[in-house]
Chains A and B, each alone.
Chain A
Amino acid sequence: MSILKRTPLFDFHVAHGGRMVDFAGWEMPVQYRSILDEHKAVRRAAGLFDVSHMGEVDVRGPGALAFLQSLVTNDLAKMTPGRVVYSPMCGETGGVIDDLLVHMRAPGDYFLCINAGNIDKDLAWLRERRAAAPGLDVTLADRSGDTALIAIQGPRAAGIVRSLASGPAVAAALDDLNYYHFATGLTIAGIPCSAVARTGYTGEDGFELYHRPEDAPRFAEALLAAGAPLGLELAGLGARDSLRLEAGFPLHGHEISGDISPLAAGLAWTVKFAKNSDFCGRAALEREARDGSARRVVFFKTGDRRIVRAGAAVIDEAGAPLGTVLSGTLSPILNEAIGSALIDTTALAAGRALLTDIRGAKIALHPVKPPFVALKK
């Protein structure tokens, strides 16, 4: 028997018509009304997402920076309080255990935001690495259960959140908050937020609002009431996925995984070999950087409305296998199927045509450099 976990907004979702599904062990809304409409609302105005299922981990102590630097591929040395850095966290083979956001509150005081489906695995990995470094003065605390998270994303997100600032100082703090920065101690709609981050995974401007679980339903209603006149709509996991794919962002388990390194995924910018710290996976990634990746993630569009599903084989004109589709959806903005695939590098270098078979029809996959649509940020 498996019992699905619920976020503090479960009743809110049901009350607002959310269609609840099992997502990585969580009972989450895949959509409220229409995935396509929710997607378009985020690009046009704004969307409200419950991302409370994501995990949060505090990493604290004089050794926190050294500990994190040994875990992630990006360089955290130049972070200042209030900064957020995106990074893969790799295993020894260079595969990605998870991708996460590192938030720096103060020297020796960080928190990580990690993927919902990876919370247990990440915590086990963090604790294992912590145990392997007894000389480091660092503590780990899983805050996932006592943290709720709402994302407001879209061109009108800033105006909506600002309209609920508890006073001019909070409004000014929101105005001053740059992309990939966060602030603590702000009260929005009367709800104290442990962090307000100008981050998100849709490619749009927006905020991620960390707060107490008991405040979540009142907070969501207040945000919805303030935002609805400006076009804010509730958005579920379906729109979240099509938005992130349209933006060209990787999703763990798809474009990055234990089998797909950040280099193969086109995330070389997140792997800082020059940083003044060793990190897990460095040797394997250095080898891959030197020798080249055997396979590479390619984003594609098709010019066709038929969705190319994850797992579909990518073939050449003679039917020989060249790779596998990792993600696929219909871009509601382009009105055509888009996706990503893991392709043999030799086939890419040779410029071979990439095709897939949908019920007997050969569909051409045209490689493109994402994002698929012009983004605000």
Chain B
Amino acid sequence: MSNIPADLKYAKSHEWIRPGADGIATIGITEYAQSSLGDITYVQLPQPGAALKAGDSFGVVESVKAASDLYAPVAGTVVEVNAGLDSAPEKVNQEPYGGGWMLKLKIDDLAELDALLDAAAYAAIVG
């Protein structure tokens, strides 16, 4: 059974989002996603300042087996990316909800968070 923290919101495309008090949210991929991908070898992330709409591809995560697009759960502006993943992409495998985070997003409209899945709904998707 995958680890699905109760305090996060989830996209059907397997990204998690942790909203912060300042309107800046942290985004990564779930335990289930990293486990399905296997050994992650490369993570391509956007430049800070990039504006994203909900559902936009913001990068690519590569594993030994395949390359998969990453999608923004909500609209916003990228304020920071996890530069540590350049040299240590395996952090996504090891700490998907911690050191393997991917970007910080200044959310345009907090109401968009309501359209995302809670932990129980995401758990129902990944079984």
Contacts and interface: CB of A to CB of B under 8 A. Distances in A.
Interface in A312-359: 329-330, 359
A307 B38 contact: no
Contact of A305 (B38, B41, B65, B93): B41
B91 to A, nearest CB: 14
Interface in B22-61: 38-39, 41-42, 44, 60
Nearest to B44: A359
A85 B57 CA distance: 51
Contact of B42 (A34, A37, A307): A307
A330 B41 contact: yes
Of the listed residues B38, B39, B60, B89, the one surrounded by the most CB atoms of chain A closer than 10 A to its CB is: B39
Contacts of A242: 64
Given A35-B39, A359-B44, A307 B64 contact: yes
A307 B62 contact: yes
A45 interface: no
Interface residues of A, number: 16
A46 B99 CA distance: 31
Interface string A346-377: 00000000000001000000000000000000
Interface of A is mostly: mixed
A238 B64 contact: yes
B64 A330 contact: yes
A35 B65 CA distance: 10
B64 A36 contact: yes
Interface of B: 38-39, 41-42, 44, 60, 62, 64-65, 67, 89-90, 93
Given A36-B41, A359-B44, 13 more contacts: A30-B38, A30-B65, A34-B39, A35-B65, A36-B39, A238-B65, A305-B42, A305-B89, A306-B44, A307-B64, A307-B67, A309-B67, A359-B67
20 contacts: A19-B38, A30-B38, A30-B65, A34-B38, A34-B39, A35-B38, A35-B65, A37-B39, A238-B38, A242-B64, A305-B62, A306-B44, A306-B62, A307-B41, A307-B42, A309-B67, A329-B64, A330-B64, A359-B44, A359-B67
